[in-house]
Amino acid sequence: MILDQIVARSKVDLEIRQRETPLSEVQALARTRPAPRDALAALRAENRVHVIAEVKRASPSRGLLAPNFDPVGLARTYAANGASLISVLTEPHFFQGAPAYLPAIKAAVDLPVLCKDFIYDEYQVYEARSWGADLMLLICAILDDTQLRYLLGIARSLGMHCLVEAHNEEEVQRAVAAGAMIIGVNSRDLKTFQMYPGLIRTLRPLIPADRVLVAESGIHTQADARRLARYDVQAMLVGESLITSRDIAGQLRQLLQGANASTQIKICGLSEERSVQTAVEAGADLFGLVFYDPSHRYVPPQRARELVETLGEARTRIEVVGLFVNKEAAYINDVADQVGLDIVQLHGHETPDFCQLIQRPVIKALHMAGPADAENIREYRSVVWRLLLDTPSPGWGGSGETHDWQLAREIASQQPIILAGGLQPENVAQAVAQVHPWGVDVSSGVETAKVKDEGKIHAFIEQVRQTE
């Protein structure tokens, strides 16, 4: 396994350095350095998604990334275009990094600098601080609980923070229990280098609100950034897509815009492969499948599964929402597993307690006729992933009529909401500008004669994106 090979080589290198320079000398040098820059404060600033931009020449999975490598120039470009931290690979064999890069970059930028290496020994902590690192990477997969707590403690004694990286539920729980304040979820399995784009969605509920969540790996496009922003990450660690870009500055700005300025777009009520592909091509973030039998948009679970399977590689860019009305929790969870749903949307009389029985993130639709209905929000806000504000209708589902956007704006100013009800290409830009919702949801507004209209889907999404 690649991770085992990297750690084994790191141990050989460390033994050589320990013979050349005793621990006491490295400790003394570490303590002479100026106080570390506050990485935790930087990642909490401005209530937005930050980018930790990585200086990396190569990777085990992709080989050489930057033949004409200028680490200091690269760091300066990152700092000038919105990065909040700089990550520096110092591992020399598999990533072609070097310890010398770190102090040179630290002197060239005013941002906190992360030492990214395979750290398992206290010597390496003092070493990183002696190079000027403000924070360092600790990987749960190569540390037991005793090592993790011990290294965190040494880092704290030096005024440093740590990015503690996890790859699964057990590692996230260990990171939280150890007291890590900055937790990274790496969607790439370091043992196989396989990507799991949905991992952040699965692990997000395990991370307390007082910790900073960093998404790592597989972040290449605005769609990737919007997907991660869905799950309230505070930062994204990005390397390869910046290093290999022909326009590094532009790529960094695009990722920041995708994470911070984009409205999430859901196209609901899809039942044909053509409509699904249109939603993907047009740039939708989510699409909805209706499991409410009386609706003309109803899709049987087996057919829904077939539609999801047509996504192919696009499955990493768009997420699938299943809409249910007053169904039993066991049925909903079973369909979610059978179809491969990412999110469940509840449109009936489901109570807050019921919502907590669902084994997926929950969107709860609330029908807003006036200020009195806004009282319901308090009951649901702490137990569901997102609230959807819709117009009351005689039946269940969309009414095609707009509701009180001013009321919606007041609610959206206090928490993220999805706006629905009467949206269409002609009015969605106005709705987004007035309400500032986290997301918008449309069904009948992109239909002609109750059939999804490709032109209207494209037009709807274009109108939303033009407001950003």
Which residues are the active-site residues? 268, 390
Distance CA(241)–CA(54), nearest Å, equals: 10
Q: How far apart are CA 375 and CA 357, in angstroms?
A: 23
- State CA 232 to chain mean position distance: 7
| Beta-bridge partner residues of 447 | 452
For 175, the token pair is 């990171």
Instruction: Report the C-alpha gap between 17 and 6 in whole angstroms.
Output: 17
Dihedral sign (CA 407, 410, 414, 419): positive
Q: CA 454 to CA 278: how far, in whole Å?
A: 6
Instruction: State the burial class of residue 294 (Cβ atoms within 10 Å of its Cβ: 0-12, 13-18, 19+).
Output: exposed
Strands 451-452 vs 447-448: parallel, antiparallel or unpaired: antiparallel
Interacting residues of 407 by C-beta distance below 8 A, sequence separation 6+: 368, 370, 371, 374
DSSP bridge partners of 168: none
Q: How many CB atoms lie within 10 A of CB 96?
A: 17
Residue 160 contacts residue 130 (beta carbons within 8 Å)? no
Cα gap 230→215, rounded to integer Å: 12
* 126: enclosing H helix or E strand: helix 122-130
Q: Give residue for tokens 């449309």.
A: 442
Comparing CA positions, the residue from 428, 110, 146 lying closest to residue 266 is 428
